[in-house]
Structure 1
Amino acid sequence: MTDPSVASHRANRRLRQHLDRLATGVIAASGIAVVAAVLAIGVYLTLAVLPLFDAAEVKVEAASTVADEGAIHTVWLADDGMRWLTRDGQLRNAEGTIARLVEDATIAAVAEGDDTQPLALGLSNGEVRLVPRDDRGRLIWTQAATARLFATRGVAALALGHTAQGWVLAGRNTQGDVAALWRAGDALRRLAVPETAEHIAMGHAGRLAISQGTQLTLWKLSPDGKGTALARTDTRAPVTALSFLQGGRTLIVGDAQGELRRWRLSPDDAGWQAAETSYAALGDTAIRRLIALPRQRLWLALDASGRMGLYQSLSGLRWQGQAPRAIPPPAVSINAQGTQVMWLGESGTLQRLAIEAPHAAVSAATLLMPLTYEGHSTAQWRWAAAVTGDEEPQYSLVPLAWGTLKAAAWAMVFAVPLALGAAVHSACYMSRRQRARLKPAIELMEALPGVVIGFVAGLIVAPFVERHLAGTLVLLVCVPLGSVACGWLWRVLSRRWELRLPPISVGVGLMVPLALVCWAALSLSPWLEAWWFGGDLRTWMYQQWGWDYAQRNALIVGMAMGLAIIPTLYSLAEEALSGVPRTLAEGSLALGATRAQTLWRVQLPVAAPGILSAVMIGAGRAVGETMIVLMVTGNTPLMSPSLFEGLRSLAANLAIELPEAAVGGTHYRLLLLGALLLFVFTFAVNTLAEMVRWRLKRRYRRYWGNA
């Protein structure tokens, strides 16, 4: 007969076994889930970033017949359907003629700007027909007006540009004469340019580029009816095509040898910048046509051999292929997104080019290399992706990476000495009772929210440092030196004092002389500033080194973020030092070594992997910090080594710009690229730190086995 107590014991044992297996499965599943979640984040960021580097495409869509008669000049896609214009001035749609815009002349040239500028039709009798737009940018065909550009000769080419007061329309007649119409408010003034030209292009604020043979001239037109030649340049080969890109500050020049070059207006709009930029050529035949697209500083180039290329002003050639058989005529229509180029052939067939290049402005060069941007005279790393209007986007990640590493580096400079010093003192010199009180107190600092630290640093510390900059710098030098001096004084005191006072009184007593040192530094700093720096340290730094001072700078973020990562560094380093077998230290002391020699030659070398792991984890924590950097640095993406200027980190940039970025756009994906860089860095650092800690444990086992 079975003993009931034995049966109960067996049942309990089976229950414990089932619970152990269940707990093991739950723990294993949770660990796997955590790893899977981390990997899923990395995979998601990678998939979101990959489209940035997709190759651009230009596809020729199938042609369709939209008209059966008349010589078609150009076409528009309106809200109520397609409309096209014949050379004799008839506006038509699929149902027939809507209006006749021109009498006794033919249309020879068309110029179309943005939604605030009219449609200009150049006529064979020297006049231009101006079709205004309504508030929504739609053409009002019934209100077309006529203005005379040339007395007798017909218009051969038109170029339309934007000004602060309105717009300016430049034209060239069949004989090469150049004239312009300047619109400011309701006034329309004609300007004559005393030069002949083969090609014209209208840019920013009345800047007119004209070419004649190998000579390229930049004119400045003004509303008072005068024109001034700002710059003249001889090109290497005769110019065959001109076009200003979006914004009107970058001119693309194509020549008879098939070369393409970029000329940028100088920052003061007084001429060209000192150097031109060349692009990869399509071939060795002349460039016949340049078609500027209204987004991303893109343009299409066509040469005489039928080759076509898609270019971006900073990243260069993005696509190259064969042009369609029906080469686009002088008049083409481009949709507002710049994804379609349309024109009508002589037989009334609609031709389309579909352009798929949503991220053409992104390349290794634009992300990593210094470039010369519009409005700047030197090559720089710049980040300004969230731009509007005609501003040129600047996609360099280098200033953000520099700001991230700069903030983390200065935080480590402040945190590592304090945290490691506290860890060494508590692990190697304090009693267990004192250590049990101090360690939780320091670790409790980790509960301080980053936003609170950033708030205090931004609103209290930063103004104080600005008012007492010299005193703060003196403090940063005097406090470490004062601590060393106090330690030396304590060492030279009589052994009798050292035996009478408990160890904790030494640390408390050190606060008094350090407080006196701080008071003396702040009190004497105005005299020191007046003596050494002429009374103003910030002015002296600017004059000597070119360093400007910003209230929220790397110094403030170093102090604030250093305070935030001290608990992490201290806790990990203290555990590494406490984990060193006590038999090693006791053996060293038994052999006659001092406590300092034991620390430097025994305890620190054994705990070095753990301390290195603590430093790496602290660095990863500093790199990923968001709120403190966001509130303390001023968020200016500068490439400056100065301790007294602002910065912007990748994490802070995400917090600032991600809510405003259009999902799926270039700006949005670039922000996710920054997030991916942070993910990879912190993942790699933490993984390496864990490997170091694992090696540390193996070393501990070996020491314990030999003890």
Structure 2
Amino acid sequence: MIDFSTPTLRLRRRLRHSRDRLATLLISAGGIGVIAAVLAIGVFLALEAAPLFSPARVDSETSPLPPGKKQADRVAWMHIGSPGQATLLDERGVVWRGTSGQAFIADASLADALFQGQTITSTAQTASRLALGLDQGDVILVPRDDEARPVWSQANRHTLFSGQPVAELALQGDDNGHWRLAGRSEAGNVAALIGTRDDARTRRHELPQDASHLALGGEGRLVLAEGAQLSVWSLAPSVPEILGQVRGVSEGRRITALTYLVGGETLLVGDSGGGIRRWLNARGETMPLLATEPYRGMGDAPIVSLLAFPERRLALAMDTEGRLGLYQAVAGRRWHGQVPDGPSQAVDFSADGRVIWWLGDTNLTRFIIGDEHAEVSWKSLWTPVHYEGHDEALHRWQVAASGVESEPRFGLAPLAWGTLKAAVWALVFAIPLALGAAAHSAVYMSVRLRTRIKPALELMEALPGVVIGFIAGLVLAPYVERHLAGSLALVVILPLGMLLGGALWARLPHGLRARLPLSWAGIWLIPWLALLIWLAMQSAPGLETLLFGGDLRTWLETRLGLDYASRNAMIVGLAMGFAVIPTIYALAEDALSGVPRSLSEGAQALGATRWQALWRVLLPAASPGIFSAVMIGAGRAVGETMIVLMATGNTALMSWSPFEGLRSAAANLAIELPEAAVGSTHYRLLFLSALLLFVFTFCVNTFAEVVRMRLKRRYRHLGAGK
């Protein structure tokens, strides 16, 4: 046998083999790299969103009271400064100052000059004032400086009760220097003081009602509790007036603690059975307070204390058995633990509400609150929540809070609904047109016309989404708003007119039909289409006058309760459907063109019409590719950003109406992510919405591929495309 292999040929074969292996490795590495990159994106999004659902963590550090402080006198008030400096005020009015780990120094001059032998029986405070109730019925109001330290030289004394110890105080103020103070005596009498910054005009009001507990909220709302009943008074007018009464706890229980959270709109009520319920201020005339679902309790022991945080909608609850619970207004109970050193003599919060100092019998405990995202829970993201300022539970997304007095609304349901609503309306518009165009160009259209039409339609995919959104928002939306009746008439007249056109064409004489071949219908139907559009627009005013009283928008609002917004889901469907059509068309047309012509010709040879061959043979054979085309189009519709951003009002509404706006998750990311503070709850919720989009797209594509493979195996015997 002659060996024609030469050294040169062997070298070439080795080089070719090496290049093949290198190309294989590079292609494999590229594919693995793409998979790894996609997985890395998912992992990154998951890591950024994971802290939202981390359980609350409360760390404590306990240290004994420094020497020098006498234990015989209980502490009535405490303030811990930022450098660790502590100021204690005992019940006799003696001020103790010191630093952590050092001896406290007493100052009795204030007790002699200001308190004059009276004992402090109750306290209340805001960021700008400290109120001290005395055993003879007086109240001392002390301004506080920028570091929350009392300015004792500017203290003022007011008479709240005559000779009765002040058992409880509630203080509330605003940025204009106006303040309101409500107090309860040991006998249950209730009185209120209303004053200004300089205390020049202070009004006293005695309420004709006894109470065992009280709380003062925003706009001068005073809530009094007696037994199981809550009475709501308004201190805003010149003379206090009662707004109404509600039963605050269930049968067989009594109210044992009250507090308003920051903002003065959310009231927490603790009862003798260990229950805690959230009430909201109501603005209607039927009921002054609205009840929400009770929180999960800590046990059956009565709640004795509810301490509201200064800058967060959190409260610390304590019961008679020494259990502590951390509660958030929306999310409910976040943590529970045990009192470190008996009931507190005094409690102080840091300015940001993330540190609590608890002064027990012998120790000072520092609680560090590790719950950055307390207002978020999986339930609150997807179920209706009763937010402040609303009369019912709603799905809301509104993070533009103007401070601690505005409650953020973190509900992802409106964003998910807006995403699906926009995608559905886009597919409703795109699928019939895209699949109809694909079937016509693949089966009926002449080759000469197809070679021009198909590239033109595929080229539409290169049109930027921002351009489509710009045209939709500034041109299409105003035009549809001005000609709403005509636009809706097109939806009815165009399909019926095209069916009528087909029926008329089928009844034309054979010679005339030969001059209007079906393969060129895309050209000679254009005048017919223009005529239908003209007829729809011309007949719209008459139809609007005849059927809708001359104003379709008013009829929709009064009869159907549908509000029309200029930029709405219908506009998004038209614009985004226009962007999705090229994708669905190109893939579906390729799938239909890939079906062997022998299948269609064989069906027609057996007596089937071209329509029957298309419906019974070609479409089933091409169904895997058509299904993939629709799923890919749906994926683009779900992830589309700029069109939704520019063609809707970006209102996070949950409405079925096509005439109202929406906000999709993708558009919301584009709007809010640049302004979100890194690491904040808002920031991580945006990453969570991105993760949900990622997972949704991944699942849809996986499902589409599974279905496509099953359909491919099912119709493989028909000779469908590979």
With structure 1 as the length reference, what TM-score do the two structures score?
Answer: 0.93
Partner of 1:175: 187
Q: 1:293 aligns with which of 280, 294, 309?
A: 309
Q: 1:512 aligns with which of 523, 527, 552?
A: 527
Matches within 5 A, 1:55-66: 55-66=55-66
Q: 1:110 aligns with which of 114, 123, 133?
A: 123
**Within 1, Cα distance between the matches of 2:619 and 2:3?**
60
Shift of 1:193: 1.8
Q: 1:585 aligns with which of 589, 600, 620?
A: 600
Q: Please tell me whether the aligned partners of residues 581 and 704 of structure 1 are also in contact (alpha carbons under 8 angstroms).
A: yes
Judged with a 3 Å threshold, the aligned counterparts in structure 2 of structure 1 residues 584 and 509 are, in CA distance, closer, same or farther, namely same
1:362 maps onto 2:396 in alignment: no
Matches within 5 A, 1:258-657: 258-268=274-284, 271-273=287-289, 275-329=291-345, 331-345=346-360, 347=362, 349-389=363-403, 390-503=405-518, 505-657=520-672
Judged with a 3 Å threshold, the aligned counterparts in structure 2 of structure 1 residues 16 and 138 are, in CA distance, closer, same or farther, namely farther
1:100 maps onto 2:103 in alignment: no
Judged with a 3 Å threshold, the aligned counterparts in structure 2 of structure 1 residues 163 and 474 are, in CA distance, closer, same or farther, namely same
**Within 1, Cα distance between the matches of 2:454 and 2:627?**
20
Judged with a 3 Å threshold, the aligned counterparts in structure 2 of structure 1 residues 545 and 66 are, in CA distance, closer, same or farther, namely farther
Shift of 1:149: 2.7
Q: Which runs of 5+ in 2 are unaligned?
A: 99-103
Query: What amino acid is aligned across from residue 247 of structure 1 in structure 2?
Result: G
Query: What amino acid is aligned across from residue 187 of structure 2 in structure 1?
Result: Q
Q: Once structures 1 and 2 are overlaid, which stretch shifts more, 184-193 or 433-442?
A: 184-193
Shift of 1:500: 3.2
Q: Once structures 1 and 2 are overlaid, which stretch shifts more, 401-410 or 287-296?
A: 287-296
Query: How many residues are matched?
Result: 701
Query: What amino acid is aligned across from residue 89 of structure 1 in structure 2?
Result: G
**Within 2, Cα distance between the matches of 1:628 and 1:705?**
36
Partner of 2:680: 665
Matches within 5 A, 1:55-204: 55-70=55-70, 71=73, 72-87=75-90, 88-94=92-98, 96-97=105-106, 100=110, 102-104=114-116, 105-113=118-126, 115=127, 117-134=128-145, 139-163=150-174, 165=176, 166-184=178-196, 186=198, 187-204=201-218
What are the Cα deviations for residues 38-88 of structure 1, in whole angstroms up to 9, with x where unaligned?
Answer: 001111111222222222233442233235224333322324442322223
Judged with a 3 Å threshold, the aligned counterparts in structure 2 of structure 1 residues 110 and 512 are, in CA distance, closer, same or farther, namely same
Judged with a 3 Å threshold, the aligned counterparts in structure 2 of structure 1 residues 138 and 463 are, in CA distance, closer, same or farther, namely farther
**Within 2, Cα distance between the matches of 1:503 and 1:483?**
14
Q: Please tell me whether the aligned partners of residues 458 and 632 of structure 1 are also in contact (alpha carbons under 8 angstroms).
A: yes
Judged with a 3 Å threshold, the aligned counterparts in structure 2 of structure 1 residues 448 and 183 are, in CA distance, closer, same or farther, namely farther
Q: Please tell me whether the aligned partners of residues 416 and 569 of structure 1 are also in contact (alpha carbons under 8 angstroms).
A: yes
CA root-mean-square deviation: 2.5
Partner of 1:213: 227
Judged with a 3 Å threshold, the aligned counterparts in structure 2 of structure 1 residues 506 and 704 are, in CA distance, closer, same or farther, namely closer
**Within 2, Cα distance between the matches of 1:360 and 1:399?**
21
What are the Cα deviations for residues 646-679 of structure 1, in whole angstroms up to 9, with x where unaligned?
Answer: 1111111111222222222222221111111100
Q: Please tell me whether the aligned partners of residues 124 and 170 of structure 2 are also in contact (alpha carbons under 8 angstroms).
A: yes
Partner of 1:51: 51
Query: What amino acid is aligned across from residue 143 of structure 1 in structure 2?
Result: Q
**Within 2, Cα distance between the matches of 1:222 and 1:271?**
18
Aligned-partner SS, 2:467: helix
Shift of 1:164: 7.3
Query: What amino acid is aligned across from residue 123 of structure 1 in structure 2?
Result: L
**Within 2, Cα distance between the matches of 1:408 and 1:678?**
13
Q: Please tell me whether the aligned partners of residues 427 and 578 of structure 1 are also in contact (alpha carbons under 8 angstroms).
A: yes
Q: Please tell me whether the aligned partners of residues 624 and 709 of structure 2 are also in contact (alpha carbons under 8 angstroms).
A: no
Query: What amino acid is aligned across from residue 178 of structure 1 in structure 2?
Result: V
**Within 2, Cα distance between the matches of 1:409 and 1:501?**
36
Shift of 1:200: 1.1
Partner of 1:13: 13
**Within 1, Cα distance between the matches of 2:80 and 2:380?**
34
**Within 1, Cα distance between the matches of 2:280 and 2:704?**
49
Aligned-partner SS, 1:278: coil
**Within 1, Cα distance between the matches of 2:372 and 2:545?**
57
Partner of 2:101: none
Judged with a 3 Å threshold, the aligned counterparts in structure 2 of structure 1 residues 4 and 284 are, in CA distance, closer, same or farther, namely closer
Aligned-partner SS, 1:514: helix
Q: Once structures 1 and 2 are overlaid, which stretch shifts more, 22-31 or 427-436?
A: 427-436
Partner of 1:683: 698
Judged with a 3 Å threshold, the aligned counterparts in structure 2 of structure 1 residues 702 and 138 are, in CA distance, closer, same or farther, namely farther
What are the Cα deviations for residues 473-512 of structure 1, in whole angstroms up to 9, with x where unaligned?
Answer: 0011111211111111111111222223455543222111
Q: Once structures 1 and 2 are overlaid, which stretch shifts more, 670-679 or 500-509?
A: 500-509
Shift of 1:705: 9.9
Q: Please tell me whether the aligned partners of residues 591 and 721 of structure 2 are also in contact (alpha carbons under 8 angstroms).
A: no
Aligned-partner SS, 1:157: strand
Q: Which runs of 5+ in 1 are unaligned?
A: none
Q: Please tell me whether the aligned partners of residues 465 and 642 of structure 2 are also in contact (alpha carbons under 8 angstroms).
A: yes
**Within 2, Cα distance between the matches of 1:509 and 1:135?**
80
**Within 2, Cα distance between the matches of 1:65 and 1:275?**
42
Aligned-partner SS, 2:638: helix
Shift of 1:640: 0.8
Query: What amino acid is aligned across from residue 82 of structure 1 in structure 2?
Result: Q
Q: Please tell me whether the aligned partners of residues 263 and 272 of structure 1 are also in contact (alpha carbons under 8 angstroms).
A: no
Q: Please tell me whether the aligned partners of residues 425 and 573 of structure 2 are also in contact (alpha carbons under 8 angstroms).
A: yes
Shift of 1:5: 9.6
Q: Once structures 1 and 2 are overlaid, which stretch shifts more, 193-202 or 623-632?
A: 193-202
Shift of 1:694: 4.3
* Matched-pair identity in %: 53
**Within 2, Cα distance between the matches of 1:475 and 1:706?**
38
What are the Cα deviations for residues 25-46 of structure 1, in whole angstroms up to 9, with x where unaligned?
Answer: 1111011000000001111111
